Structure 1
Amino acid sequence: MAPAIYKKPPQLPPKFTATPDSLVKDTKALIDRSRKIQDGLVKDVTTASANFKNVLLPVALDDNKMAIESHIIGFYQAVSTDKALRDASTEAEKLLDDFSIESSMREDVFRLIDAVLQKKESLDAESQRLLEKDHKSYIRNGLNLPAGPKRDRFKEIKQRLSAISIEFQKNLNEEQGGIWFTREELDGVPDDVVDGLKVGEGETKGKLWLTFKYPDLFPTLKYATNAETRKRVFVENENKCNDNVPLFREAILLRDEAARLLGYNNHAEFRIEDKMAKTPKTVDDFLGDLRTRLAPGGQTEIKKLLELKQEDLKARSLGDDNSKYFLWDHRYYDRLMLERDFQLDQQVIAEYFPLQTTIQGMLKIFEELFGLAFVEITGEDRTALADGGKGSDIVWHEDVQVFSVWDDEGEGAGFVGYLYLDLFPRDGKYGHAANFNLQPGYIDENGKRRYPATALVCNFSKPTPKKPSLLKHDEVVTLFHELGHGIHDLVSKTTYSRFHGTNTVRDFVEAPSQMLENWCWTPSQLRSLSHHYSHLSPEYEAAYKEASGADKKPADQIPNSLIANLINTKHVNDALFNLRQLHFGMFDMTVHEPKSHEDIEKLDITSTYNRLRHEISQLNGPEALGGDWTWGNGQATFGHLIGGYDAGYYGYLSSQVYSTDMFYSVFKEDPMNGKEGRRYRHTVLERGGSKEEMDILEEFLGRKPSTEAFYKELGISK
């Protein structure tokens, strides 16, 4: 039961009781309401009488209300087990996107907003930002083009790009591929993974079905001793969504055409203009400098890993190609190096991080650092919040956990919002790890705060009768990262939903979460998060003893020696990891920064993706075995570049500059400094995107950000 002080949230959680019919019907009603508001503005307000209150405010208030329903309408396609509901969610999102494009190109509304801007009213800072951003948005949506064929073509492109984005992500979510393997071909893969695979019948009798979902894919690439197995898994995973190949190409071509219609030299110039970087040259210089600094380290790391591969193959009397280091070798020999040189067994470390106790430990860190309280809502409390419905109405699947989040007593004990955790894979579900805003926070028309709801959607291995879900350390980091986005979403306090939470520029949005990853490399925090699974129940204790052959269970918390070994590996093969990120960022810029439209029309995107990966990461693919550069279509699995990170993937690397600077400057000496944690919460996280991100950073740091800590952390300082 929840403590009395945190018993009854002042706002009910959303319900997840939609049907395919209701989703589409509700969407059309939302669109009709918004269109009426826009039509009313044009009818009742002239450019002479236009001001912020009678033009911008009604639209902003409607945007707030729209977001309360529309985010959930689109969310079903990522999480529902009902294909009809997922399809309806996809259809509804297309309707919403089409309406958004229609709204963004209304010249009659733009004329009113332009009139407001020219009047230079005295507005509060967030309202002024809303006015300026909205005005710029209309121009970026083609309203500086003369009415006629060019503007019509621009609108047509926008609509098609929206449809491509929805179809591309749907293909990824619905992907059902995999490979049949014999048990022998999966030699080395942990038993708890192999034992969970579907067993074949008929023609495939005796074989096991390995999917491309993370809990199957990554352990196989890390542990399968058979190089041919790893190669098949790697190559076929790159080709799991080949229906997306033509969609990706079409999107690249259309983006370039649209940017040129607006007078930009390419799509990258258009996209980066309103980011922190401002120009493609800034991005290209940053990525180029990073590549120059990382390349020697990558060569050194490959040399050591290749030596390890040669020793391994010799020890096993295998005559495989040992003169090259392949893409499908990397996770395997990276893991082997950690075990050999650092006595680091990730399987043993995972035993100390059962999913549920790790989550409890993480939430406790956030409570202490940011002045929050998390209260899980279960049983009767769920029913009480279902407002006359069933307790199951306030979640979308039986596995989902829901928490009410509060300020602690020191912060005033007020309500903050709702946090949902959806942690295990299932058919049709979003396949990666992400944070989804379900309902933003804002101030309503009566001056009352509306509270947010946010969801973490992940794909960790499911518990079994003999083991709970156990997290590898990199999964602990992933969970902490996504929870970081969730906290950003929860504690944000903006007037308008437009700026709520993670609605910042793309090259800053990852920084708050990346900064929090540092807590996963801090000895005291790792110990506090750990709890060996054999201590969870007598059944798990017995299963552990049986599996390990030990006569007693280990200590509850992870030993200091294991923590030291783990922390010593933080930067092992770090250059190769960052070169992989660099490949994604440079490929993104390459396809979005052509010299001419003819250049992008002639570009072989698949060959470019694979060739760039080889040139930047220096790892070999099937092309080194006599094939060509068209062996895999990794770009077709790259949802980021279709889902909002186009000409923006560099943000994962550039925001690391900011996150490392913040951690080194403020938290490195004392990561659990609650005073600084609360200052960070109120200065950075609360603001969302309501203020220039560089101004937020400078206020928190007390100076302009510096790359020094970032390069020092990577060990590549000048």
Structure 2
Amino acid sequence: MSTSLKGTTRKRVAVAYGRRCGDTNLLILENLVQLRHKLARLLGYSNYADYVIEPRMAKTSAKVFEFLEDISAGLTDLANKELAALKDLKKEEEGDSPFGIEDLLYYVKRADEEKFDLDFGTVKQYFPVNLVLSGIFKIFQDLFGLRFEEIADAEIWHCDVRLFSVWDFSSSELLGYFYLDVYFREGKYGHTCVLSLQNGSLSSNGERQIPVTLLLCQFRKEADGNPALLRFSEVVTLFHELGHVRTKLRIKPFIISPDGHSIESKEQSPGWNGMCETHSLHRSALVHHICNRASFARFSGLRVDSDFVEIPSQVLESWCYESMALKLISGFHQDITEPIKDEMCLALKKRRDSFSALKLKQEILLCLFDQIMHSSENVDSMELIKHLHPKVMLGLPMLEGTNPASSFPRFAIGYEAACYSRIWSEVFAADIFASKFQDGILNNYVGMLFRKKVLAPGGAREPFEILSDFLGREPSIQAYIERKTRNSLEWLEKTRIS
């Protein structure tokens, strides 16, 4: 749908795609929702959304609805301007045929290609893996006062794996360890994630148990004379991972000796029950895990509210769109003294928010559907999406016989009643970056405050208290709305399709 030149073809493909497994999946979804409501009532909640959201940062479904509606309303004017620009572009290319939801992908891509002279193949040449890693470590050192040291001859399970110790730069206190296993290989776990092997905590004798984590990525290794280079999206992912993603594993507590060899721990941390436990997959900061100073394992590492755990990593993503940071982590692979060009940095930053209001409207549509389905019983999912679609999507009708909810897996597994979490994290991360870091992305004073007030408490404090303490006020959606509006309008004003 993003490459077809003919509107009729795009529509046929969109309809066929939107109808796949429709009736079957919707029946399964509605049955799942009813069972979830039943579970919630057995536990004393009026509906499943209240059950899911109560332990999260948002606390209530009403707060989630308010949040989504405020974001949607704040971006409506911008979304209308973006849609008008796309309609004009379609009119130039296809005449007076009406603009449909099936045209969004194609014309957003066309508009981006017209505006941004950005070859991602060329951009990739400036991001050798090891150079990006060393650059990120330097940024984290300057910003958060962390020192990274690789441990030679460590006990590892594959020759590609590396082990690092992390130290406080000022006091030389050992803060934790992490393994890097970043290259793809057959038989390796196929996701990009951080496995939290051991949470930091205070042991029964008052000594601190050191956190240990593992970062898994799926980058392509140097082969046949081709250097190991990262796509820009992988650079963002790596920032977000060193910075991001974790699966909590239950293992026997252990420590790592200074020479990199594991030794079984004789002390069990508070909260350790020695039994098998299953944990859910979350995305969150490795730095968050290492810098956490909670006393109990139950509140340590990344054991924070599920709609808060993403925020520190989302904050760190912003460095990937700042010219100063990009130059610190880049270098042309044939001459690493040549950093990425200024015009590339600017294009990457502007492209981040191109047509962002329209894109976000589509996500808000599904988030609202998710909340309503899990807040009310006996909802007709087809009628609900028919009602929401034109209301949220600026009057664009839903394609006949399709239902986006039938092929949106987050409703079924993992994010039920919590699809709002990604937007929630992105919004408050934008507030933090704009308020505290925008004018000084390597400001050590602010970085250390962030480390102390946001990363260190873990789950021992309420997230709103953490953010309010750091910001000096309650978190706001305004910075997010302003960034999206500023960058997208600048694009629209400078392009011929304005």
Range class of TM-score, shorter chain? 0.7 to 0.9
Counterpart position of 2:408? 635
Counterpart position of 1:560? 342
- What SS does the corresponding residue of 2:476 show, helix, strand or coil? coil
Counterpart position of 1:11? none
Whole-angstrom distance in 2 between the partners of 1:703 and 1:368: 26
Counterpart position of 2:44? 263
Matched, 1:272 2:43: no
Whole-angstrom distance in 2 between the partners of 1:237 and 1:442: 49
Counterpart position of 1:416? 176
Give matches, 1:523-538, under 5 Å. 523-535=323-335
Deviation at 1:628, TM superposition (A): 0.6
Matched, 1:295 2:76: yes
Whole-angstrom distance in 2 between the partners of 1:252 and 1:354: 46
CA RMSD of aligned residues (A): 3.8
Counterpart position of 2:319? 519
After superposition, the Cα gap between the structure-2 partners of 1:427 and 1:635, relative to the gap in structure 1 and judged at 3 Å, is farther
- What SS does the corresponding residue of 2:460 show, helix, strand or coil? coil
Give matches, 1:664-679, under 5 Å. 664-679=434-449
Counterpart position of 1:77? none
Matched, 1:360 2:134: yes
CA contact 1:505–1:689 (8 Å) conserved in 2: yes
2:207 to 439, 444, 448: 448
Whole-angstrom distance in 1 between the partners of 2:165 and 2:148: 5
Structure with bigger gyration radius: 1
Q: Deviations over 1:237-262 (max 9, x none)?
A: 99699998776544322211111233
1:345 to 102, 119, 132: 119
CA contact 2:454–2:466 (8 Å) conserved in 1: yes
Aligned partner of 1:446: which letter? Answer: N
Aligned partner of 2:350: which letter? Answer: N
- What SS does the corresponding residue of 1:676 show, helix, strand or coil? helix
Deviation at 1:469, TM superposition (A): 4.9
Whole-angstrom distance in 2 between the partners of 1:441 and 1:459: 27
Q: Deviations over 1:594-622 (max 9, x none)?
A: 1x3xx14x545xx856885675346979x
Counterpart position of 1:282? 63
Counterpart position of 1:692? 462
Whole-angstrom distance in 1 between the partners of 2:165 and 2:482: 37
- What SS does the corresponding residue of 2:170 show, helix, strand or coil? helix
Whole-angstrom distance in 2 between the partners of 1:669 and 1:363: 21
Give matches, 1:637-676, under 5 Å. 638=410, 642-643=413-414, 645-676=415-446
Whole-angstrom distance in 1 between the partners of 2:19 and 2:309: 27
Structure 1 unmatched runs, 5+: 1-220, 315-320, 537-554
1:616 to 375, 378, 392: 392
CA contact 2:145–2:168 (8 Å) conserved in 1: yes
Whole-angstrom distance in 2 between the partners of 1:688 and 1:505: 9
Deviation at 1:290, TM superposition (A): 1.6
Deviation at 1:499, TM superposition (A): 0.9
Whole-angstrom distance in 2 between the partners of 1:312 and 1:611: 31
1:582 to 349, 364, 374: 364
Whole-angstrom distance in 2 between the partners of 1:478 and 1:706: 25
Counterpart position of 2:198? 439
Matched, 1:334 2:94: no
Aligned partner of 1:406: which letter? Answer: V
After superposition, the Cα gap between the structure-2 partners of 1:376 and 1:641, relative to the gap in structure 1 and judged at 3 Å, is farther
After superposition, the Cα gap between the structure-2 partners of 1:519 and 1:631, relative to the gap in structure 1 and judged at 3 Å, is closer
Counterpart position of 2:288? 488
Give matches, 1:39-118, under 5 Å. none
Counterpart position of 1:704? 474
Counterpart position of 2:238? 479
Whole-angstrom distance in 2 between the partners of 1:464 and 1:240: 41
Counterpart position of 2:267? none
Deviation at 1:506, TM superposition (A): 2.2
Aligned partner of 2:408: which letter? Answer: Q
Deviation at 1:573, TM superposition (A): 0.8
Counterpart position of 2:35? 254
Counterpart position of 2:148? 374
CA contact 1:610–1:629 (8 Å) conserved in 2: no
Deviation at 1:556, TM superposition (A): 2.2
Deviation at 1:672, TM superposition (A): 0.2
Aligned partner of 2:406: which letter? Answer: N
Whole-angstrom distance in 2 between the partners of 1:410 and 1:577: 44
Identity of aligned residues (%): 29
Whole-angstrom distance in 2 between the partners of 1:687 and 1:232: 49
After superposition, the Cα gap between the structure-2 partners of 1:353 and 1:244, relative to the gap in structure 1 and judged at 3 Å, is farther
Whole-angstrom distance in 1 between the partners of 2:120 and 2:428: 30
Deviation at 1:631, TM superposition (A): 7.9
Counterpart position of 1:324? 99
Whole-angstrom distance in 2 between the partners of 1:427 and 1:230: 39
Deviation at 1:310, TM superposition (A): 5.3
Deviation at 1:337, TM superposition (A): 2.3
Whole-angstrom distance in 1 between the partners of 2:404 and 2:64: 29
After superposition, the Cα gap between the structure-2 partners of 1:336 and 1:468, relative to the gap in structure 1 and judged at 3 Å, is farther
- What SS does the corresponding residue of 1:507 show, helix, strand or coil? coil
- What SS does the corresponding residue of 1:417 show, helix, strand or coil? strand
- What SS does the corresponding residue of 2:165 show, helix, strand or coil? strand
Matched, 1:406 2:177: no
- What SS does the corresponding residue of 1:418 show, helix, strand or coil? strand
- What SS does the corresponding residue of 1:533 show, helix, strand or coil? coil
After superposition, the Cα gap between the structure-2 partners of 1:647 and 1:630, relative to the gap in structure 1 and judged at 3 Å, is closer
